[in-house]
Amino acid sequence: MQQLAKMVSEGGWTLFLDRDGVINQRIPNDYVKSPEQFVFNEEAEEALKIFNRLFSRIIIVTNQQGIGRGLMTSAELTRVHEKMITDIEQAGGRVDRVYFSPDLKNTRSFTRKPSIGMGLKARKDFPEIRFKKSIMAGDTFTDMLFGRRLDMINVLITEDPAEIKASKELPDFIFPDLISFARDLVVGYP
């Protein structure tokens, strides 16, 4: 991990983050459909404040099939993201862009993780992004496969033994939460 911290400290790195389960609390068998339902995971805002100092770009990539299922609209999701970004900025953090896929899991959409569409869209919008100088932090096998397909460093954020087992060799690092990952980067930061 110290080697990764040293590489990140040299600049030009991008952090890709999943949203549900990483930044905010996942709602079991449901979706975050309104700003009132969006609850940050413990110390996630502090982690994003730390990442603000370390990364050139911070990008959120999130599957949001609740739209595809007709349970919420893109406009409702936009309001959730606006509140999230405002809260992150007020805490001293930053998010450069949020990309989402509204498509259902069974559609095999190019934009839905583990497909790489959201990553390619981010690189098109921010041409300085280099996937070999990027980290994908997520809480599922799907996130890890997305990162691997784009040749990123993978950080699995979970304490769930089933998710750790499902992800097999895909994660380069495993942390119980976002703040643990952020603090570990800072410890190794020169």
| Domain spans of the chain, in order of start | 2-187
Predicted model pTM: 0.96
What pLDDT score does 188 carry? 58
- Residue 62 DSSP symbol: E
- Residue 39 DSSP symbol: -
25-to-54, 77, 108, 122 alpha-carbon distances in Å? 24, 15, 26, 24
As a whole number of angstroms, the distance between CA 87 and CA 66 comes to 23
Strands (E), the chain: 14-17, 57-63, 97-101, 134-138, 153-157, 173-175
As a whole number of angstroms, the distance between CA 176 and CA 158 comes to 5
Residue by residue, pLDDT tens for the chain (190 residues) are: 788 888 998 999 999 999 999 999 999 989 999 999 999 999 999 999 999 999 999 999 999 999 999 999 999 999 999 999 999 999 999 999 999 999 998 888 999 999 999 999 999 999 999 999 999 999 999 999 999 999 999 999 999 999 999 988 999 999 999 999 999 998 755 5
147 touches 22 (CB < 8 A): no
Q: What is the CATH number of domain 2-187?
A: 3.40.50.1000
Residues marked active site are found at: 18, 20
